[in-house]
């Protein structure tokens, strides 16, 4: 087998308990490469049209990348792919930590799970042994309780645990998966897919080693990263302050969602900035396997709310969605809400998004406390937010309504609430504001997985890294504000590149545009891992292939261009702050979207890949 791979993918059917070991052959590996590329392949091959994300027939894949397990920064993430209970289309989410390396060490390039267990279970992957174990004793337990219960049985050495929390068990449509209690595959409701399969966790024990072709080059790349961090800008900030360290600069650029996305900065944003609150509640940091950046900040507090340091601290997105977007600027309050979400297994972005929707409907008088079980709720109310999180995870009253996401909530709470439901394909956008980033506005609309901020490079970096962009053949369109054909070209190319990163399970903070490594380093990395004589041409095609497979899955689920739309609020002018007056220009956006379909080789009416494009990518089997 090519070095970097184990040559085996495990397939588990929870309905009949059959475990298979698939040997897919070298061409498969070179074509789909790993991570989300594998996920897209197994879903597109194996799913019937219009499968419900919560049906036993849904398929979920957990796949690391080719380089996972190498001692180089940012090369060991893990991709989760399945139909999303949040959007109904394809879902894809990544996490760091050590679950990826442990899957490789256990001897697998990926795990594919389908079916539904008859009773609560967890999966034990221990080298050649894969067992479906009775999970009755962990039903209803929090993430921390479950982790402790499973490590009591299986030990806490050479082990990694991926689990949904009680939110996933209760099929909350935006529940997440947690790796070793502080690494989160947050988006798309992957926790509910676990819950729908009666599978609470996967325990992976791995003692084997992963072999690579050229360990000397891998060591050189590891050293390069170490030398490049000082003076690197973004990675250096991440090393010192984690993602909370960008709250200040982002808010000052009018890029910090506030009051349900109606504003783009909060006067008290500095209270949520990592550099400010770090002194009060920092509790050190952790890192993903082999990464010297170590951006995973931990926090700890005693008052006004006790916060444990075991579940990790709030990231930039969380500080926005559970903070400024709810007008909460007390960092301990956000840390507490983050702790609750992580311990229950809720996506902090979507939880914040549905809370903001409810609070604005209450503020506008469209709903009243009678709709909230008599509870007075609103913006800038941490205790109210904690209460609501509890109701969502336990599916009680208003929490039960919100747990099913926006489409269902609008049906139950009334059409008048629709303007305040800020989402694309039922998924809440990140804290990054589409009003100030035209390429992000486009990507929020057209991404197969719904509004997501990690699918392409944002305008700001594309602009500042013009030289790097040139090496991808992007020569113009760097102006921040422009929303023209050049910007679309940049968006498309950077989408292919980011799609490649998710296929290789690489971290965008290390391998993204203008970060620690450049495109030539990426070719070197792949060659060192596998021995392949690869080029960026081949690699960009791999990224493009994955985007088209994801889109093709959505086509089979019934999605069309009609779903590639933005919430109305984003077309309204921002009322104040550094980005005052900015909005998504309706006409420019429509033109960008049309150009995007054209450049992608997708049908302009349906928004779906044309047969010729699928053939171009070697996907004729998916026509
Ligand atoms: S930069 Fe942060 S998220 Fe990325 S691999 Fe390193 S520690 Fe993990």
- Ligand 1 neighbour 316 (Cβ under 6 A): no
Ligand 1 centre to CA of 98 (Å) is: 11
Q: How confident is the model at residue 181 (pLDDT cuts 50, 70, 90)?
A: confident
Residue with CA nearest ligand 1 atom 2: 295
Ligand 1 centre to CA of 516 (Å) is: 11
- Ligand 1 neighbour 287 (Cβ under 6 A): yes
Ligand 1 centre to CA of 74 (Å) is: 6
DSSP β-ladder status, 110-114 and 121-126: unpaired
Region 395-406: mean pLDDT is 98
Region 481-496: mean pLDDT is 86
Contact 306, 252 (CB under 8 A): no
Contact 319, 352 (CB under 8 A): no
Contact 296, 182 (CB under 8 A): yes
Region 340-351: mean pLDDT is 98
- Ligand 1 neighbour 510 (Cβ under 6 A): yes
CB neighbours of 3 closer than 8 A, spacing ≥ 6? 211, 212, 213, 529, 530, 531
At 156, give phi and psi (nearest 5°): -115, 15
Tens-place pLDDT, residues 76-122:
999 999 999 999 999 999 999 999 999 999 999 999 999 999 999 99
Computed over every residue of the chain, the mean pLDDT equals: 95
Instruction: Name the residue with tokens 């490789």.
Output: 104
Kindly tell me the burial class for residue 136, based on how many C-beta atoms sit within 10 Å of its own C-beta (0-12, 13-18, 19 or more). exposed
Among 336, 301, 295, residue whose Cα is nearest residue 315: 295
Show the tokens assigned to 239. 């090393």
- Ligand 1 neighbour 74 (Cβ under 6 A): yes
- Ligand 1 neighbour 372 (Cβ under 6 A): no
Q: What is the dihedral of CA 64, 66, 67, 73, to 10 degrees?
A: -50
Which sign does the torsion angle of CA 270, 276, 280, 283 carry?
A: positive
Q: Is the pLDDT of residue 460 over 80?
A: no
CA distances from 260 to 255, 263, 442, 589 (A): 13, 8, 20, 22
HSE value, Cβ hemisphere, 13 Å, CA-based, for 540: 13
The predicted structure's pLDDT at residue 478 = 59
Q: How confident is the model at residue 461 (pLDDT cuts 50, 70, 90)?
A: low
Measured distance CA(95)–CA(73) in Å, rounded: 14
Instruction: Name the residue with tokens 């497979």.
Output: 549
The predicted structure's pLDDT at residue 457 = 82
**From 222, 454, 509, mutation site for ligand 1 pocket: most ligand atoms within 8 A of C-beta:** 509
Ligand 1 centre to CA of 134 (Å) is: 34
Ligand 1 centre to CA of 469 (Å) is: 23
Show the tokens assigned to 423. 């989402």
- Ligand 1 neighbour 75 (Cβ under 6 A): no
Q: Is 459 helix (H, G, I), strand (E, B) or coil?
A: helix
- CATH for the 434-622 domain, from 1.10.599.10, 3.90.1150.10, 3.60.150.10, 1.10.540.10: 1.10.599.10
- Ligand 1 neighbour 295 (Cβ under 6 A): yes
Ligand 1 centre to CA of 294 (Å) is: 6
Q: Which fold has domain 9-205?
A: Aldehyde Ferredoxin Oxidoreductase;  A, domain 1 (3.60.9)
Tens-place pLDDT, residues 520-558:
999 999 999 999 999 999 999 999 999 999 999 999 999
Measured distance CA(548)–CA(5) in Å, rounded: 24
The predicted structure's pLDDT at residue 227 = 94
Q: Is the pLDDT of residue 1 over 90?
A: no
The predicted structure's pLDDT at residue 464 = 67
Measured distance CA(583)–CA(389) in Å, rounded: 31
Segment holding 392, helix H or strand E:
helix 382-393
Tens-place pLDDT, residues 211-268:
999 999 999 999 999 999 998 888 999 999 999 999 999 999 999 999 999 999 999 9
Q: How confident is the model at residue 477 (pLDDT cuts 50, 70, 90)?
A: low
- Ligand 1 neighbour 288 (Cβ under 6 A): yes
Rounded to whole angstroms, the maximal C-alpha distance in the chain is: 66
CB neighbours of 557 closer than 8 A, spacing ≥ 6? 49, 50, 51, 83, 88, 89, 90
Q: Is the pLDDT of residue 515 over 90?
A: no
The predicted structure's pLDDT at residue 446 = 97
Instruction: Give the ligand 1 atom nearest the CA of 235.
Output: 1
Ligand 1 centre to CA of 475 (Å) is: 30
Instruction: Give the ligand 1 atom nearest the CA of 96.
Output: 8
- Ligand 1 neighbour 232 (Cβ under 6 A): no
- Which residues in 558-579 are b (16+ Cβ under 10 Å) and which e? ebebebbebbebbeeebeebeb
Ligand 1 centre to CA of 501 (Å) is: 13
Measured distance CA(516)–CA(293) in Å, rounded: 10
- Ligand 1 neighbour 517 (Cβ under 6 A): no
Instruction: Give the ligand 1 atom nearest the CA of 242.
Output: 2
Instruction: Give the ligand 1 atom nearest the CA of 295.
Output: 2
pLDDT more than 70, % of the chain: 98
Ligand 1 centre to CA of 278 (Å) is: 19
Ligand 1 centre to CA of 264 (Å) is: 27
pLDDT more than 90, % of the chain: 89
Lowest mean pLDDT among 39-43, 468-472, 498-502: 468-472
The predicted structure's pLDDT at residue 166 = 98
Tens-place pLDDT, residues 557-574:
999 999 999 999 999 999
Q: Which fold has domain 230-420?
A: 1.10.569
Tens-place pLDDT, residues 9-32:
999 999 999 999 999 999 999 999
The domain locations on the chain are 9-205, 230-420, 434-622
**From 73, 98, 290, 516, mutation site for ligand 1 pocket: most ligand atoms within 8 A of C-beta:** 73
Number of helices (H) and strands (E) in the chain: give both, helices first: 25, 14
Region 187-207: mean pLDDT is 97
Ligand 1 centre to CA of 198 (Å) is: 31
Ligand 1 centre to CA of 391 (Å) is: 32
Cα angle value 129/133/139 (rounded, 5°): 145
Q: Supply the pTM of this predicted model.
A: 0.97
- Ligand 1 neighbour 507 (Cβ under 6 A): yes
- Ligand 1 neighbour 294 (Cβ under 6 A): yes
- Ligand 1 neighbour 96 (Cβ under 6 A): yes
Ligand 1 centre to CA of 517 (Å) is: 13
Q: Per DSSP, which regions of 171-233 are E strands?
A: 177-179, 183-185, 199-205
- Ligand 1 neighbour 184 (Cβ under 6 A): no
Ligand 1 centre to CA of 607 (Å) is: 34
């Amino acid at each position: 087998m090519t070095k970097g791979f184990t040559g085996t993918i495990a397939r588990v059917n929870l309905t009949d308990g059959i475990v298979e070991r698939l040997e897919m052959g070298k061409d498969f590996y070179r074509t789909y490469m790993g991570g989300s590329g594998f996920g897209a392949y197994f879903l597109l091959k194996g799913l019937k049209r219009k499968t419900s994300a919560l049906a036993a027939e849904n398929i979920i894949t957990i796949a690391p990348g080719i380089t996972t397990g190498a001692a180089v920064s940012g090369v060991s993430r893990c991709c989760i792919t399945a139909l999303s209970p949040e959007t109904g289309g394809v879902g894809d989410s990544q996490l760091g930590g050590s679950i990826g390396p442990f899957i490789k060490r256990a001897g697998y390039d990926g795990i594919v799970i389908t079916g539904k267990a008859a009773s609560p279970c967890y999966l034990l992957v221990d080298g050649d042994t894969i067992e479906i174990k009775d999970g009755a004793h962990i039903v209803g337990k929090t993430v921390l309780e479950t982790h402790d219960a499973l490590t009591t049985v299986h030990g806490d050495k050479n082990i990694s645990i991926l689990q949904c929390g009680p939110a996933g068990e209760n099929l909350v449509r935006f529940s997440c998966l947690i790796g070793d209690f502080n690494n989160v595959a947050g988006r798309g409701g992957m926790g509910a897919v676990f819950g729908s399969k009666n599978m609470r966790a996967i325990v992976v024990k791995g003692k084997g080693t992963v072999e690579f072709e050229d360990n000397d080059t891998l060591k050189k790349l590891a050293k390069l990263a170490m030398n490049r961090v000082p003076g690197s800008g973004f990675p250096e900030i991440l090393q010192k302050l984690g993602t909370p360290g960008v709250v200040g600069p982002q808010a000052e650029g009018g890029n910090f969602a506030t009051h349900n996305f109606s504003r783009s900065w909060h006067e008290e944003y500095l209270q949520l900035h990592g550099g400010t609150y770090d002194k009060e509640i920092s509790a050190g940091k952790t890192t993903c396997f082999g990464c010297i950046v170590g951006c995973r900040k931990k926090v700890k507090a005693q008052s006004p709310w006790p916060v444990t340091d075991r579940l990790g601290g709030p990231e930039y997105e969380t500080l926005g969605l559970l903070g400024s977007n709810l007008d909460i600027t007390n960092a301990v309050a956000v840390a507490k809400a983050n702790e609750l979400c992580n311990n229950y297994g809720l996506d902090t972005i979507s939880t914040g998004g549905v809370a903001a929707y409810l609070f604005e409907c209450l503020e506008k008088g469209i709903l009243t406390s009678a709709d909230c079980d008599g509870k007075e709720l609103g913006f800038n109310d941490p205790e109210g937010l904690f209460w609501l999180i509890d109701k969502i995870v336990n599916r009680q009253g208003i929490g039960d309504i919100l747990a099913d996401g926006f489409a269902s909530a609008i049906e139950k709470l009334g059409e008048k609430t629709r303007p305040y439901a800020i989402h694309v394909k039922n998924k809440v956008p990140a804290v990054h504001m589409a009003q100030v980033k035209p390429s992000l506005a486009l990507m929020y609309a057209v991404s197969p997985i719904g509004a997501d901020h990690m699918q392409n490079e944002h305008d700001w970096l594309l602009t500042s890294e013009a030289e790097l962009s040139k090496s991808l053949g992007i020569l113009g369109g760097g102006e921040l504000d422009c929303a023209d054909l050049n910007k679309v070209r940049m968006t498309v190319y950077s989408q292919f590149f980011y799609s490649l990163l998710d296929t290789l399970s690489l971290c965008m903070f290390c391998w993204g545009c203008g970060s620690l490594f450049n495109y030539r380093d990426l070719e070197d990395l792949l060659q060192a891992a596998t021995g392949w004589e690869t080029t960026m041409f081949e690699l960009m095609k791999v990224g493009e292939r994955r985007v088209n497979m994801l889109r093709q899955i959505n086509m089979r689920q019934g999605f069309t261009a009609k779903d590639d739309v933005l919430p109305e609020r984003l077309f309204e002018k921002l009322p104040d702050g550094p980005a005052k007056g900015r909005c998504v220009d309706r006409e420019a956006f429509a033109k960008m979207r049309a150009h995007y379909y054209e450049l992608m080789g997708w049908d302009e009416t349906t928004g779906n890949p044309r047969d010729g494009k699928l053939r171009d990518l070697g996907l004729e089997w998916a026509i």
